[in-house]
Amino acid sequence: MKKYLLDSNVLIQAHRMYYPFDVVPGFWNKLIDLSDRELICSIDKVKKEICNTSTPDKLALWCVNDIKSDFFVNTSSCVDKYAEIALWVQSNQHFKQNAKDEFLATDLADPWLIAYAMKHNCVMVTHEVSQPNRKNKIKIPEPCIHFKIQYISTIQMFRELGETF
């Protein structure tokens, strides 16, 4: 069975815009359920992006208190795939150097998400869309396309899983 790997923007935008905890608790309960059934996960660097603030918001508290800690998988086993991605990024003449540097910044989750998806054959779940002509920023879809990693939206994931909330 497919495993779906959630980008930080799936959680952040759900919290801030589409499915706030106080209005759509079913969304968050469904994520917990899907995680418990090992159908979805995210990575340690996504948790760090969300929780690394001086004043934790409701999303950070949910990440720490509500969803099981193994939802956020460790990426240390993906260094080899990260190296492949870094090589592709640095040798790619399409992107400007500042876009390459930003994408490969040590704590940025994006390349590590892609590395984990490559290593563990996951489907990337992100709100980002391909912008093949963009040179000043590397978005998740571009490396996914290059490395043949499927990427979909949150709603597409729910449809593929046949889940509602």
Mean pLDDT (the chain) is 96
Q: What pairs with residue 6 in β-bridges?
A: 125
**Angle (CA) 118 121 125, round 5°:** 85
pLDDT digits 0-9 by tens, 100-111: 999 998 779 999
pLDDT number for residue 162: 96
Using the predicted structure, report yes or no on whether residue 19 has a pLDDT greater than 80: yes
What is the tally of helices (H) and strands (E) in the chain?
Answer: 9, 5
Average pLDDT over every residue of 118-136:
97
Confidence of residue 149 (pLDDT cuts 50, 70, 90): very high
CA of 96: how far to CAs of 35, 119, 134, 136, 158, in Å? 37, 27, 9, 6, 35
Q: Residue 165 — pLDDT band, cuts 50, 70, 90? A: confident
Instruction: Give CA–CA dist 131/125, Å, rounded.
Output: 16
Instruction: Give the per-residue pLDDT at 150.
Output: 98
Is the model's pLDDT at 49 over the cut of 80? yes
Contact 7, 128 (CB under 8 A): yes
pTM of the model: 0.96
C-beta separation of 39 from 3 below 8 A: yes
